Amino acid sequence: MVRYIIPYLFLYSFYLPFRFLPYRACLFYGKFLVCLLYPLAKKHRKIAYDNISYAFPEYSEAQKKDLVWKSFLHIGNLLAGTLFAPRLSRKWMDKYLVYDAESLAIEQKTIQDGVGVVLISGHFGTWEILVQFMGIRMKGGGIYKKVRNPFVDKLIYRLRSKNGIKLVSTEESSQVTKMLKQGYWVGFGSDQNAGKVGIFVDFFNRKASTYQGPALMAYLTGAKMLLYSVLCGENGKVNVRVKDLGFVDKSAFSDREAAIRHYTEVWTKALEEEVKLFPEQYFWVHRRWRTKPGDFPGQV
């Protein structure tokens, strides 16, 4: 038990200031922490550099290194947003959330229609802010992967569910189908490496093993697919961009597998286009392309 308590206390010591500092101070503190850790993160800086080199082969060395630095600096914003997010309120959203007219219209109409929504997002922008305002603005649900440390797991669950979002663990994924049919908006952050369970689709000039969950759930339930980008703007503002990816058209495909592949390609391409607009806010340090074609026999 001690081996769990010590890491938990260490993590909580970082979290504690975010419980009390004003929002703008949290953003500064998050960047400060990342600046302290940046010189020690040689491995992750290399991962980011390699990923950026594949994604933007036209960049000069100076541009690649500059993007690595900016993406790390953004992690400070992400850290601050993640740990401040449980304190979100409607007053905070009125002050800091910024929608363009088209995105707001898509969201409002979808809420009025009362349909289930497969809400797709990536490790892009300040995604934990999205988790929190889903619980306030709409009938929000999410999937989370349990952490081995029970104290950390309990803390993360409490923080993520603070504003009313309904969470189910990956072990209870069958509940997602029911939630979508009941009109929930269920969030999927599906742009991580899917290993041997994924299908390969193009993402930034490389084949990437990609989770089928969003397209599969939309196929099974008739839910609408929306892509959300929740981005850090100036002066602490959070810019919300929404793309309507529509419903699965089963009649256009010969079988379920073909439909799922098509819509997986659709949302992956849509995410790529968003990242190209704001590349400094993508989480380049994760090993998105770790699984390669041929690593697992029989993988599609």
- Rounded to 5°, the CA angle 226-230-234 comes to 150
The arithmetic mean of pLDDT across residues 258-269, rounded, is 98
SS3 at position 282 = strand
Evaluate if residue 146 carries a pLDDT over 90: no
Q: Report the alpha-carbon distance of residue 184 to residue 188 in Å, rounded.
A: 13
Evaluate if residue 298 carries a pLDDT over 90: no
Residue whose tokens read 């209870």:
172
Band of residue 170 on the pLDDT scale cut at 50, 70, 90:
confident
The arithmetic mean of pLDDT across residues 281-293, rounded, is 96
31, two tokens: 């960047």
Amino acid identity, position 239: N
Evaluate if residue 258 carries a pLDDT over 70: yes
111, 210 Cβ separation under 8 angstroms: no
Buried (b) or exposed (e) across 122-138, using 16+ Cβ within 10 A?
A: bbbbbbbbbbbbbbebb
pTM of the predicted model as reported, rounded to 2 decimal places: 0.93
Which has the closest alpha carbon to 44: 84, 14, 22, 75? 75
Q: Where are the beta strands (DSSP E) in the chain?
A: 97-99, 117-121, 140-144, 166-169, 185-189, 199-203, 206-210, 224-232, 238-246
Band of residue 3 on the pLDDT scale cut at 50, 70, 90:
confident
Q: Report the alpha-carbon distance of residue 214 to residue 235 in Å, rounded.
A: 33
The arithmetic mean of pLDDT across residues 190-203, rounded, is 94
Architecture of domain 2-281: 3-Layer(aba) Sandwich (3.40)
Full 3-state SS string of 52-67:
HHHHCCCCCHHHHHHH
- In the prediction, which pLDDT does 300 show? 66
* pLDDT tens track for 18-36: 999 999 999 999 999 999 9
- In the prediction, which pLDDT does 66 show? 98
- In the prediction, which pLDDT does 286 show? 95
Evaluate if residue 243 carries a pLDDT over 90: yes
Please report, for residues 28, 57, 168, 268, the alpha-carbon distance to residue 45 in angstroms, rounded to integers and kept in the order given. 21, 17, 33, 24
- In the prediction, which pLDDT does 252 show? 96
Which has the closest alpha carbon to 195: 295, 121, 47, 267? 295
Could you give phi then psi for residue 99, rounded to 5 degrees? -110, 140
Q: Name the residue ranges covered by the structural domains of the chain.
A: 2-281
The arithmetic mean of pLDDT across residues 106-131, rounded, is 95
Band of residue 183 on the pLDDT scale cut at 50, 70, 90:
very high
The arithmetic mean of pLDDT across residues 41-70, rounded, is 97
Evaluate if residue 165 carries a pLDDT over 70: yes
Strand partners, 282: 124
Evaluate if residue 103 carries a pLDDT over 90: yes
129, two tokens: 């802010």
Could you give phi then psi for residue 162, rounded to 5 degrees? -55, -40
Compute the mean pLDDT over every residue in the chain, rounded to the nearest whole number: 93
